[in-house]
Amino acid sequence: MIRRTFLSLAMTLSAGAAVAQPAPSDLFGQKQIVRAVLDGDAEKVRQALLKHESPNQTANNGSPLLTVAVRAGHIPVVETLLKGGAMPDAVDPEGYTALMRATEKGDVEIVEILLRRNASTRVQNRQGQTALMIASSRGYAEIVRLLLEKKADPNSRDFTGRTALGYAKQANRGSIEAMLRRAGGKE
């Protein structure tokens, strides 16, 4: 298809017609909203949403746009997508939600935004891990606290049978172990 586009363009140019070259994003099928998210341009995202672009589209790698914005740390874009109706619990190809990706990065501000928008604390990725398990293993005490306040289950188990407490113990995260035990966490 790309070859046909180039051949058509070449034939038109050789015929002497003045033709504007298509933008690279058009050539590769990337929509305006995807480019705006990748660029971190909240205003262009807002404009695309006003033109009825879906906030629940995926980028070329299959990741939801919200997850792309979270991974890039584009807070205004995250907020714009959520206000535009992005589903906070959509999963990327690895089974991670935006909350899990924000937790993985240790981004407390984005975690707070997602939790205010009712992102689920119970979703499990392909390995059965929850955001609480990820935060516990990485030592992100503030995120563990936020997740527990939103009723994250400290006794949820991954596919190997480990709980968030097991992850915290394995990573020698004593303060997080204590927090999880106070919340009723078991091994």
Residue 58's CB is within 10 A of a number of other CB atoms, namely: 17
**pLDDT grade, residue 187 (50/70/90)?**
confident
Work out the average pLDDT over 164-170.
96
**pLDDT tens string 138-164:** 999 999 999 999 999 999 999 999 999
Work out the average pLDDT over 124-149.
97
The domains of the chain, with CATH numbers, are 24-87 (1.25.40.20), 91-187 (1.25.40.20)
**pLDDT grade, residue 76 (50/70/90)?**
very high
Distance of CA 66 to the CA centre of its chain: 5
pLDDT at residue 2 in the model = 42
Separation in Å, CA 140 to CA 104, 128, 132, 147? 9, 19, 9, 11
Q: What is the dihedral of CA 65, 67, 73, 78, to 10 degrees?
A: 60
Q: What pTM was computed for the model?
A: 0.83
**pLDDT tens string 91-113:** 999 999 999 999 999 999 999 99
Residue 62's CB is within 10 A of a number of other CB atoms, namely: 11
